[in-house]
Structure 1
């Protein structure tokens, strides 16, 4: 039976047409709602994933991972914008390590990537290769067509950009994709800010811990080594921890013209830098010593010169001044692959420097006080030796000389002269002892003792002991750099004599005048016409040159060798 309103059997009912359209519309809207719900759920999951981490590097990686998963992109990247408006850091997803190495250096913000740097706004492209700003791809780079980029803002500043390419199925990124990417970028900005605040707090804590370690050591009464050399070494070691640099240097002023001596070095190439003279450049670095501010410098080559560790690119310099006294500079160097020093490093290093400088001032005052006490005892002992012992020995020598008139034995004059010479030698040794009595911090080994130990150690394999003569107040020398060079030269010279000369006697003389320190090593070995090609003589000459001194070697075949090494005293 046909419907009363149906005109023919083949024609559908009139009411059926709007109902089917309504159902199709309803189903389409339901699919859209489901997709929107799925997108919202995906966005929430991405936000939770990104927000659940405090490490900045991990946060950046999770942002890219979440964006690729949420928007079905094959490749993703996040570029961090540096101070020079280029990409200073680049995190990628979809390209493995092997392929990344074949591609080469990471992008720095040219071409299409740079559009979001100069104009921080969302950008969708059907084919980024056809864009007028396209910079092309390097060799081995995978092909990429569809593109979506959005800026990531942290507070009011653009932190970086999120880049997505190659949506699954070859489709273009849609406006809805752009909205999701913008929302994710907003959440990422909050997570990045939290991670940066956390890392800044950790970095501040690291600087404070280093400051406590350094100042605690400097103010400790019971430490073994009270020299300023040891103090600067500990300061450099403490500063190396929070800066994560290639090398940390403690510089002490060598003159008033901007020349510094590397008093201590920690890290890569530290051995080559220790003792080197560095001239502070006319800009930036010189202002540190004048203003007391810490400064981050992007090009340390001007300060350090050749021979520094490979790829130095970033330098942090800290002034060490307290109570009107400039103790030096603290320098940390990073390579070109490391991140720049942050403002937190500049701020906290200044705090570190001011506290360490104050501790150095207190340590110096304490050493002066201890030296004053020792100086009193030195003066008393020296006075007693001079007024009593030396005078008695001198009187004994005169008395022995007067015995000549009472003896006629032929061997008596020679015997009297020998005894007199021994008394004169004893008097000279006593005078050297008087001059070497000095103000020294408790527990510090005297320079003369270190010289004796060095001679004994270097000549241990000899069947005889070298004759050692010490002249002048050697123990008043306080410059640890000079002392270390001195001991190294003595050791090297004796080692050469032991290995090559076949000597029967070796004389070592170390003398000090008002303005110079001199070492002379003589042997009666076989000598030579031309020095060998070894590094020993070259090393001793370089040590002298580093201290503005001189090194001379004279030798005659069959008549022994003589080395004279001399450096000025500041």
Structure 2
């Protein structure tokens, strides 16, 4: 007998609507229904939404979520005996919310069928087996009907809250895919993040990004997340035709294969390959809802755009790499190789003339040492990569040369250096600064070095000032300054070196908008 106390009933209903988790809502509703009616047993079944492409005549699939007072086999038998009795409206129509009083011939007891309706569809189906006296009274039926309606409202609220949280999560996962194409990157990186995001959003056991190649019997897996075992290979082999159709016509699919639900969402980029995101959901997972399909579809469409951008970025990376190789080859040829060649000629000339080669030898040692340092600088430039901050690069170089100079160079920056200086110019500036600091360490005999970088009036300027012996008293090789001047000229700028007596000021100036 359901409690006749109105206060108790109100607390029961409030207890349900205060929860924002769907499973908890259903668990509390079934517990209240069983306790208040003294039902001997109950069976709660979730009803899946029809799969895309299905017809209204098809019976929606369902799965038993909770059983009390009987085992799983007895629960399945009870549902089979009752069938769809009491679920008026039929598949595809708006279900009724009324409680149905049914009779179970096998037990001779009354069964209450309580539909939980969310929006325009039947979400769950609760069967209550009568208490030992064999029947429910009218008060039970009235109260259970109210409980069913409130449960439907509570489930809708919980689904709305869950959907908002999932939308937030999908934005975070999309941002992770975006971050995966920050140079340097591999084309497999965004695909892996896509598979991981699809796995998390769908709750699947496995998520893979696949493509059916020219051979329609072979499915190529480009990236995957979750459980990748023999089940995946067998399942993909069984749904190859559906994957190929989705890849060609851009329409998703949801099909059953043995104990799994296979869900496919096509990728549709302009430049990247046309593949399909395939997820395997196990038997405990309800099929994807309309919200599931809408959320994951939006995520995959976003990833399609990211993959397009990744292909363009990847092509640009190759172009930049080729340009870097050409530049490094030119620098080595114009500087290091020519210096070594000149050194070899000097030594050979001294040997042939029979003169004392000691002086030539000392000079050759210095030249070779300079060449070795230049080669090390080039290797360092290749290995270090590009940081996100030119200021950070300048400070790092100053700290790097502290042991060589015997003191830390002073560093100052003026204007929006990090935001306005393009990456190519920033890379060139760090190379110039390395050469300038190297000259200070090797030739200037300085006790203080100041480094200034500035952005002003559309120009980027690098100053390196030292209090050393100046250009007149130094042995700075002209090839080094010529290399710096060539770099500036290639970018539309210029190099100016001032040295009046003691101390030197090097100014390297390049326009920003070239």
State the TM-score, normalized to the length of structure 1. Answer: 0.49
SS at match of 2:295: helix
Pairing 1:237-276 to 2, within 5 Å after superposition: 237-252=196-211, 254-255=213-214, 259-269=218-228
Residue 45 in 1 paired to residue 11 in 2? yes
Tell me, in whole angstroms, the C-alpha distance in 2 between the residues paired with 1:271 and 1:113.
36
* Aligned equivalent of 2:23: 57
Whether the aligned pair in 2 keeps the contact of 1:79 and 1:161 (CA below 8 Å) is yes
**Counterpart in the other structure of 1:85:** 59
Pair 1:263–1:55, CA change in 2 (3 A): same
What runs of 5+ residues in structure 2 fail to find an aligned partner? 51-57, 90-95, 338-381, 386-514
* In the alignment, structure 1 residue 231 sits paired with structure 2 residue 190: yes
In 2, the alpha carbon distance for the partners of 1:92 and 1:442 equals: 58
Conserved? CA contact 1:148–1:165, under 8 Å: yes
Query: Contact conserved, 1:87 with 1:109, CA < 8 A, in 2?
Result: no
CA contact (8 A) 1:59 1:191 kept: yes
Aligned residue number for residue 451 of structure 1: none
Partner of 1:159: 123
- Looking at structure 2, the residues matched to 271 and 115 of structure 1 have their Cα atoms a distance apart, in angstroms, of 41
Report how far residue 172 of structure 1 moved: 2.3
Give the whole-Å Cα distance in 2 for the aligned partners of 1:366 and 1:340: 37
Structure 1 residues 144 and 237, CA gap change in structure 2 (3 angstroms)? farther
Whether the 8 Å contact between 2:206 and 2:280 is mirrored in structure 1 is yes
Q: Secondary structure of 1:318's partner?
A: strand
Equivalent in the alignment of 1:361: 308
Equivalent of 2:286 in 319, 329, 339: 339
Instruction: Give the Cα separation in 2 of the matches to 1:383 and 1:272.
Output: 55
| CA–CA separation in structure 2 for the residues paired with 1:442 and 1:367 | 19
Quote the residue 2:104 is aligned against.
128
When residues 314 and 108 of structure 1 are mapped into structure 2, their CA distance, relative to the original with a 3 A threshold, is: farther
Question: Is residue 371 from structure 1 mapped to residue 318 from structure 2 by the alignment?
Answer: yes
Deviations 1:55-82 (A, max 9, x none): 1111112111111222232222332333
Match of 2:255 in 1: 298
Partner of 1:111: 81
Q: Which residue of 1 aligns with 2:109?
A: 145
Q: How does 1:143-542 map to 2 (within 5 A)?
A: 145-167=109-131, 170-218=133-181, 220-221=182-183, 226-252=185-211, 254-255=213-214, 259-269=218-228, 281-283=240-242, 285-293=243-251, 295-299=252-256, 313-323=260-270, 325-376=272-323, 378=325
Match of 2:71 among 74, 85, 100: 100
2:44/2:67 contact within 8 Å kept: no
Q: Structure 1 residues 290, 332: CA separation in 2 closer, same or farther (over 3 Å shift)?
A: same
Give distance in 2, aligned partners of 1:441 and 1:231: 24
Matched, 1:74 2:21: no
C-alpha displacement of 1:262: 0.7
Deviation at 1:155, TM superposition (A): 3.1
Q: How many residues align?
A: 326
Secondary structure in structure 2 of the residue aligned to 1:289? helix
Q: What are the Cα deviations for residues 97-144 of structure 1, in whole angstroms up to 9, with x where unaligned?
A: xx636x37746942225202356553324x522xxxxxx5xxxxxx57
Aligned equivalents of 1:368, 1:64: Cα separation in 2: 58
What TM-score comes out, normalization by structure 2 length? Answer: 0.54
- d(CA) in 2 for partners of 1:109, 1:93: 12
Q: Distance in 1 between matches of 2:104 and 2:137?
A: 15
**Aligned Cα root-mean-square deviation (Å):** 4.1
Deviation at 1:280, TM superposition (A): 6.6
Runs of 5+ unmatched residues, structure 1: 1-34, 130-135, 137-142, 302-310, 390-439, 444-570
Paired residues of 1:55 and 1:195 also in contact (CA < 8 A): yes
CA separation of 1:209 and 1:227: change in aligned 2, threshold 3 A: same
In structure 2, what is the Cα distance between the partners aligned to 1:44 and 1:360?
A: 53
Between the two structures, name the one with larger relative contact order (CA 8 Å, sep ≥ 6).
2
In structure 2, do the counterparts of structure 1 residues 382 and 193 end up closer, same or farther at CA, with 3 Å as the change threshold?
Answer: same
Partner secondary structure for residue 85 of structure 2: helix
Cα distance, 1:211 vs. partner? 1.3
- Corresponding position of 1:545: none
Contact 1:128-1:144 within 8 A present in 2 as well: yes
